[in-house]
Amino acid sequence: MKWETQTEEVQGLRISYAVAGDGPPLIMLHGAAASHVTWCDNIGPFSQRYTVYAPDLPNHGDSETPQGPPHEVFANHSFPLAFMDAMGIERASLIGNSGGGAIAARFATRYPERVDRLVLVDSGGLGRPVSWFLRIASLPLVGELLHLHTINSDRALIASIFHRPRPIDPEVARKLRQARNLWNTRMAVVKGIRAGMNLFGVKKEMLLLDQLEGLKVPLLIVWGEKDPVLPVSHALEASERLPDAVVHIMRDCGHWPHMENPEEFNRVAMDFLENPGSFHRAMRCQQVAT
């Protein structure tokens, strides 16, 4: 992992973030129960062309915990705006995974003039079906019980992340375990699930496809074909609803395809960021066929 970690006050909280590179700004937003370390195989390659900022969201990683409902960071669009203003960034491209994708999407629909490109990776908000684990976790008390267990072994951690488990750097594994096991993070995840989901899946008011239909920002949607959390049907529905978007399905990948197959993800996402117009023409047939 080769990047610098800094802190900045954002919305009254001390926010920790990784920063690397020199070029147009690119912001990477992780999902729930994670931290910026989920981008460990992406920050370096992208920093060769961009100034990459990968913050730890409030209640996550080394960032401070806000007062009030911790789920708000995943339910609104305010964090990217506040972070960009704190960094002095007028416009940026955004990449968001899972809950971080939902944040990025909401932000882009409300402040399109601040967004150059948008990449959503197994993003929340694009469909109703979710895993039964998440549906059950939305029930009172049940969610707290399901999230009380601690992940101690690398094997258990890797099995929870990848469709096809593979070895990862011990320091990366340590930081991931630390991020997933923080008490405040666990409770934030439970409250976030409860705010956005019920036994039927994602609540209708949390869905984003209607807002994304009118978005003029170039959009790439990347999805792990074997995602057990948010099924690939979300991406396929998005391909029908959003004809101007490009959808790329990563085979044999789970909920974090950017970490499970970083070589493919980095190539596809960087090609899109560099030239979304030609990328759209080249990839649209592949997307529809998939």
CATH number at residue 46: 3.40.50.1820
In-domain check, residue 135: no
Domain range for 62 is: 4-129+205-289
Is residue 215 a contact partner of residue 94, using CB atoms and an 8 Å limit?
Answer: no
The answer to whether residue 179 is domain-embedded is: no
pTM of the model: 0.91
Residue 195 covered by a domain: no
Lookup: tokens for 194: 């409860």
Within a domain: 275: yes
Does residue 249 belong to any structural domain of this protein? yes
Alpha-helical (H) ranges within the chain are 43-47, 72-75, 78-87, 99-110, 132-137, 142-146, 154-161, 170-181, 183-196, 209-212, 233-241, 257-260, 262-274, 276-289
pLDDT in tens, 133-187: 777 877 787 766 666 565 666 677 777 778 988 888 888 888 888 888 887 777 7
Domains identified in the chain, total number? 1
Residue 181 placed within a domain: no
pLDDT for 290 equals 44
Summarised one tens digit per residue, pLDDT across range 175-233 is: 888 888 887 777 778 877 778 888 887 889 889 999 999 899 999 999 999 999 999 99
Domain membership flag for residue 108: yes
Is residue 174 situated within a structural domain?
no
